[in-house]
A and B are shown apart, each in its own frame.
Chain A
């Protein structure tokens, strides 16, 4: 029987790692995800998880150790956030290029300067071009589930790509919620043992990994990462379906909420989706036709699902906790790209909000709604809007 425990997302991530039974965990503590390796080291010390826990001197070393372990052929896990993930940046490309299915739990946190330990998505969003798969959790249960799903997708032979699972700093990492811990036997059935066919250490069958790729081969290797990302779209759907069958919880790349006959659909990721659903409920009671959509899978980007979503509405209002300077948010670019050649498309309005842990309140969402309604009625509107900005101190 699955047990329910009250826990933080950090603990949920550690539990997910325990259930997935990685053979090597290499991690360096960083706020807000420190508790993940702490909890895992407890599991290892108590003999509850049979794994090598490597204490390293930096995140660069943590991911490097994971690359080494994964290249040797075992399931590998680590956790980090913000500057830690940024320090891993160089090796993230290597892990993806070498097609090693490492999983990272990321407590989504703002990047310096100024130093800020609170939540936004700039850390993982900045790594969107590394080739890694990216999942975003709305609550602690999703943090646990998506890590198991990430392992399954990453290790699929049609994919073989590393994956990161993001959950919002403090809003999730340090907030307790009831989380259902699935049965170990069921997880074992779901994940199975990691038996790599492409990358493993065998003295009887030596191979070279991560070798120099001349211009004659590099482009094809990069295309391999591209193709694997494309393949992952189908694999993720399959894994979501299998997960639902086994554990009863349903996941979709884009989860829709009250989008039927909506004039405006707000789109967001992570924990903000919870706030947004409440907000949509409130507006619907007032008769305002709005809906919400949550991006669970950001890479590979769910282009087809975005196109389907766009058909249902007149305005897509994107709520983003990240910035791409002079352009807007990352979702704004991705949505624009997905819809650029569609003959009929909704207007897209971008909102940058909640950076560095600033609360996103209904008042902020009201501000966004007012601008989205301008777009709806054909009035002039700004494409990119900073919501909740304290203009008086500028």
Chain B
């Protein structure tokens, strides 16, 4: 998987962030949301077929999270820690390189 463009932020917060619950669940550290995984309620997940991809970046542009990065060769990479399974990427993909499949845990 390609490196997250937020790597530096995540590392900074991870260093200072304490998992300890505070009274009233108060968040004392700005930016701590980057260490909280927000993809937990996903039902469908995007499955990516690299062979069909034409690198149009529509998925990358339309991802509302954004949970799609581009790798060194400009192919999309899906970050499942943050992807909520909305399916917009699959809907936008002109070549059907992305299909939504039911995810089971």
Contacts and interface: CB of A to CB of B under 8 A. Distances in A.
Interface of A: 97-100, 160, 198-199, 205-211, 213-217, 220-221, 224, 228
Interface string B19-44: 00111111110100000111011000
Given A216-B36, A216-B37, A216-B40, A208 B27 contact: yes
Nearest to B38: A214
Given A199-B26, A207-B27, A224-B24, 12 more contacts: A160-B23, A198-B22, A206-B30, A208-B26, A208-B30, A209-B26, A209-B27, A214-B38, A214-B40, A216-B40, A217-B21, A228-B23
A145 B85 CA distance: 55
A220 B21 contact: yes
Nearest to B30: A206
A221 B28 contact: no
B40 A215 contact: yes
A99 B36 contact: no
B23 A99 contact: yes
Contacts of B23: 99, 160, 198-199, 224, 228
Nearest to B27: A208
Given A217-B21, A220-B21, A224-B21, A198 B26 contact: yes
From B21, B24, B38, B41, residue with most partner A Cβ within 10 Å: B24
A325 to B, nearest CB: 33
A98 B30 contact: no
A228 B25 CA distance: 13
B40 A97 contact: no
**For this complex, into which size category does the number of interface residues on chain B fall?**
10 to 19
Contacts of A97: 24-25
Contact of A98 (B24, B36, B41): B24
A209 to B, nearest CB: 5
B21 A199 contact: no
A205 B28 CA distance: 8
Of the candidates A211, A213, A215, the one having the most CB atoms from chain B within 10 angstroms of its own CB is: A211
A100 B28 CA distance: 16
Interface of B: 21-28, 30, 36-38, 40-41
The 7 tightest CB contacts between A and B, nearest first, are A99-B24, A208-B27, A221-B25, A98-B24, A99-B23, A220-B21, A198-B23
A208 B30 CA distance: 8
B39 to A, nearest CB: 10
B24 A211 contact: no
A235 B30 CA distance: 33
B26 A221 contact: no
Contacts of B26: 98, 198-199, 207-209
The listed residue with most A CB atoms (<10 A of its CB), out of B23, B30, B40, is B23
A358 to B, nearest CB: 41
A200 B21 CA distance: 17
B24 A160 contact: yes
A215 B38 CA distance: 10
Nearest to A221: B25
11 contacts: A97-B25, A160-B23, A198-B22, A210-B24, A210-B25, A211-B25, A214-B37, A214-B38, A216-B36, A217-B21, A224-B25
Contacts of A205: 28
Contacts of A199: 23-24, 26
Contacts of B30: 206, 208
A350 B38 CA distance: 48
Nearest to A219: B21
A211 B30 CA distance: 12
Nearest to A198: B23
B37 to A, nearest CB: 7
A205 to B, nearest CB: 8
A368 to B, nearest CB: 43
A318 B15 CA distance: 56
A215 B21 CA distance: 13
A100 B24 CA distance: 8
Contacts of B38: 214
A369 B25 CA distance: 49
A281 to B, nearest CB: 46
B44 to A, nearest CB: 18
Contact of B28 (A207, A210, A215): A207
Nearest to A96: B24
